[in-house]
Amino acid sequence: MASRGYAQSRLTQTGRAAQLWVIEWWRLVHLGAIILVLTLSPSSYSPQSRAILARHIYVNTAPILLWFTVLCALVTVVLTRIVLVTALSYGLSQYALQVVIRVLVLELIPLTAALFVALRCTIPDGAELTAMQASGELDEMRRQGIEPVRREVLPRVVAGMFSGITLAALSCVVALVVAYVATYGFALSGLAAYTRLFGQVFSPAVTLIFVLKTLFFCLAVSLIPMASALYGMVRGQRAHQCRDAWAGAHVRGDSAD
């Protein structure tokens, strides 16, 4: 009897967890859709909103741009040298630059830029939003007739995406230049071959995947912290409720035994 009650409570708990998971993802997608619509709506760019957006864009991008670029250049130099020397020792030097471009520009830089933006900008922004939610400032806004999503969430998401795309683009350019200099030195003689190699790597399909990957990385790191901030408290409350219910069932089961 006790085992039946335990299984029932376990099943209920699993069902609730799945329901929560689906609801969370649905809210995330819903918020993404709202942000997209708001981004494309001209009404979101009123003078006051523009000022807030400009501030977020500047604060999220400008301070980290230089450091991330320097870091990216250093990593590119080290990786390029390693790959070049290794490829040369194995007699595969003709593939070294291609490997560098594929690994660095196509794979590492978009991911690193997105993670960097997440750590430096969007997660703190999410914490900021959480604090506003906790202090009841967002509810105050709603009472005053101001939509918090338009006022507080949209600028942060757009700034995060802008920051991620800018970092990724600049880092790609810097990585390409540094890889060229590390391979050919400060000479223009290898530019034609390098450009041709770059064209071979960036076929239309690869370019499309690269662009989409960068965009979706940036969207994910911008959107998820905001969604967690907006809906996290509800989930947190529900999680607490679930934990309490499970603990209660456990205690009842033990006492029945």
Partner 1 sequence: MSSSHDNPTPPPDRPDPLQPAREARQSSPAEIASLEFKARLLLLFMLLLVCGSALYVMYARGAFESTQRLVLIADDSDGVVVGMDLTFSGFPIGRVNRVELAPDGKARILVDVAAKDAHWLRTSSVFTLVRGLVGGTAIRAYTGLLNDPPLPEGAERTVLLGDAAAEVPKVIAAAKDLIENLNTLTGEGGSVGASLANLKILTDRLNGPGGALTVLLGSEAEAKKFAATLDRTNALLTKLDGLAAKTDTQVFGDKGLMPETRATVVQLNTMLGEARTSLKKVDALLQDAQAVTRNAKDATADLGALRADVEASLRKVEGLINEISRKWPFAKDASQAEMKLP
Please report, as ranges, the residues that interact with partner 1 according to CB under 8 A: 48, 50-59, 61-62, 92, 94-95, 124-132, 134-135, 137, 151-152, 162, 165-166, 169-170, 172-173, 193, 195-196, 198-200, 202-204, 207, 228-229, 232-233, 235-236, 239
Cβ burial of 6 (10 Å; 0-12, 13-18, 19+) is middle
| Alpha-carbon distances, residue 248 vs 60, 244, 253 (angstroms) | 46, 6, 9
For the record, the structure tokens of 181 come out as 């200099």
Q: How far is the CB of 256 from partner 1 (least distance, A)?
A: 31
Q: How far is the CB of 78 from partner 1 (least distance, A)?
A: 23
For the record, the structure tokens of 180 come out as 């060229």
Q: How far is the CB of 6 from partner 1 (least distance, A)?
A: 26
Q: How far is the CB of 251 from partner 1 (least distance, A)?
A: 23
Considering beta carbons, is residue 79 or 172 the nearer one to partner 1? 172
Considering beta carbons, is residue 181 or 253 the nearer one to partner 1? 181
* Strand, helix or coil for residue 185: coil
How far apart CA 255 and CA 257 sit, in angstroms, is: 5
By the 8 A CB rule, do 194 and 97 touch? Answer: yes
How far apart CA 65 and CA 69 sit, in angstroms, is: 6
| Alpha-carbon distances, residue 166 vs 113, 114, 134, 154 (angstroms) | 9, 10, 32, 18
Q: How far is the CB of 249 from partner 1 (least distance, A)?
A: 22
Q: How far is the CB of 195 from partner 1 (least distance, A)?
A: 5
Q: Which amino acid is at 2?
A: A
Listed in sequence order, the residues at least 6 apart from 220 whose beta carbon sits closer than 8 Å to its beta carbon are 114
Considering beta carbons, is residue 182 or 230 the nearer one to partner 1? 230
Considering beta carbons, is residue 8 or 237 the nearer one to partner 1? 237
How far apart CA 66 and CA 194 sit, in angstroms, is: 26
Considering beta carbons, is residue 4 or 143 the nearer one to partner 1? 143
By the 8 A CB rule, do 117 and 59 touch? Answer: no
Considering beta carbons, is residue 41 or 135 the nearer one to partner 1? 135
